[in-house]
Structure 1
Amino acid sequence: MAAGIEAAARPGGPGVRVWDPVVRAFHWITVVGCVLDLGLLEEGEGPHRLVGYVLAAVLAIRILWGFVGTRHARFADFIPAPRRLTGYFRDLLAGRARDYVGHNPAGAVMMLALMALLVVVTVTGIMTTTDTFWGVEWVEGLHEAAAEAIIPLALVHAAVAILESLFGRVNLVAAMVTGRKRWRR
């Protein structure tokens, strides 16, 4: 870790500011919205659609924020090149994975995959409300398949964050609540 990060991350210190309020709000609104729409609300009904529109709005804001937001919110800060991603996995398997202030390369790929699925779900969901695409099987099928693909990816994402929080050097769950990362020795 860089010297400035090291000093800010000392035990008992304030940690390093990483996730801004826009990123954290997007994350938690998306979690709640996906739980509601994928597990609790009736598909196609008013509440399901309302949650879908809220998710569409926060997704649009997050995508815009990925270009104009704070440093670690910007896509340019964390989209890994293939070489960087393979190097990360090589180091991880060798037991020498380094710490990242923002997303690590695997976390970045997961976030991009989940956001891409949310885009597909959003676009196809909106399409099903139009006269042109209402009742069109491929649109409904794509909407359902993308929504169902979110579930295992989100579960893996959550499991890794929890495991890292329990056994790793960084409590990622706390960081997504507070916006600050603190490294443990």
Structure 2
Amino acid sequence: MNKSMNSLQKPAPVWDLPLRVFHWGLLIAVVGAIASAKNGEMYWHQKSGLTELGLVAFRLIWGVIGSHHARFRNFMVGPRRVLAYIAERRGGDRSVHPGHAPTGAYATLALLAVLLGMALLGAMSNDDILYEGPLAAYVGSFTNRASDLHHIGEKLVFFLIAAHLAAILIYRYVLKIKLLPAMVNGGQDPKITPITPLRQAIGFAVMAATLAAAHSLSNLGDRFF
């Protein structure tokens, strides 16, 4: 009876719904931050940055309490495994790897770390003329250093985005593995248990809380002229 029920059970998605919403929400926030900065729209630049901060905070929490493939402990591997994975791919291995591949795991952490740093630095920055971030008044003279680091970090963000896009294209056209559909429909992994509706609701509640907390920083004091 149990075997029959298990065979009829719908395979669990590789990426749960809260994680997919996070992924596309972060993309929109990053694009918004870049576009608003280039157009001098500092109000929207700050809103985009605080949204990034809230979403990254959610991802860090979800990396501990989320579904199987969302948890850091289930996809972080040592350097030897990364090198072995690269060798396997170069040797012609075209097998599909559910969740983050070993190389993708480190790329994900790098992107999260940089975006977290950029959001915090932006909140502490000023432009010496019209704008002060909500945390600028609390960090003293470091606000000038934060501004410099924020501008330097912009180039790193562009590099990581380019690397991310390049990886997607390599997987699609060289390895013949499509990554994007799973980030839309969730994909399927029959080896794991589906996330329950309650845990999914908890995920969205955590996301709402981290976004609200991030945007509440603007109440600490920012200046737009």
Which interval holds the TM-score relative to the shorter structure? 0.7 to 0.9
Q: State the distance in 1 between where 2:35 and 2:188 align.
A: 31
The answer to whether the 8 A contact 1:37-1:51 is kept is: yes
Give matches, 1:89-168, under 5 Å. Answer: 89-96=86-93, 98-128=95-125, 129=133, 130-133=136-139, 136-168=143-175
Greater RCO (Cα-Cα under 8 Å, separation 6 or more): 2
The partner residue of 1:20 within 13, 16, 25 is: 16
**Is the aligned partner of 1:59 residue 2:56?**
yes
Q: What is the DSSP-based 3-state SS (H/G/I as helix, E as strand, rest coil) of the residue aligned with 1:131?
A: helix
Cα pair distance change 1:43/1:71, threshold 3 Å:
farther
The root-mean-square deviation of aligned C-alpha atoms, in Å, is 2.4
Contact 1:162 1:172 in 2 (8 A): no
Q: Which runs of 5+ in 2 are unaligned?
A: 1-6, 126-132, 190-225
**Counterparts of 1:15 and 1:164 in 2: how far apart (Å)?**
24
Structure 1 CA distance, aligned partners of 2:154 and 2:61? 22
Q: TM-score by structure 1 length? A: 0.81
After superposing the two structures, state which structure 1 stretch, 113-122 or 42-51, moved more: 42-51
Judge which range, 41-50 or 113-122, deviates more. 41-50
Match for residue 30 of structure 2? Answer: 34
Moved over 4 A (4+): none
In structure 1, list runs of 5 or more residues that go unmatched. Answer: 1-6, 8-13
Q: Secondary structure at the match of 2:137?
A: coil
User: Counterpart of 2:144 in structure 1: which amino acid?
Assistant: E
Q: What is the DSSP-based 3-state SS (H/G/I as helix, E as strand, rest coil) of the residue aligned with 1:95? A: coil
Deviations 1:146-181 (A, max 9, x none): 232111211221232134234544321111111115
Task: Give the aligned length.
Answer: 170
Give the 3 Å change call, closer, same or farther, for CA 160–15 of structure 1 in structure 2. farther
Cα distance change on mapping 1:149 and 1:181 into 2, 3 Å? farther
Larger Rg: 2
- Under a length normalisation based on structure 2, what TM-score does the superposition of the two structures give? 0.68
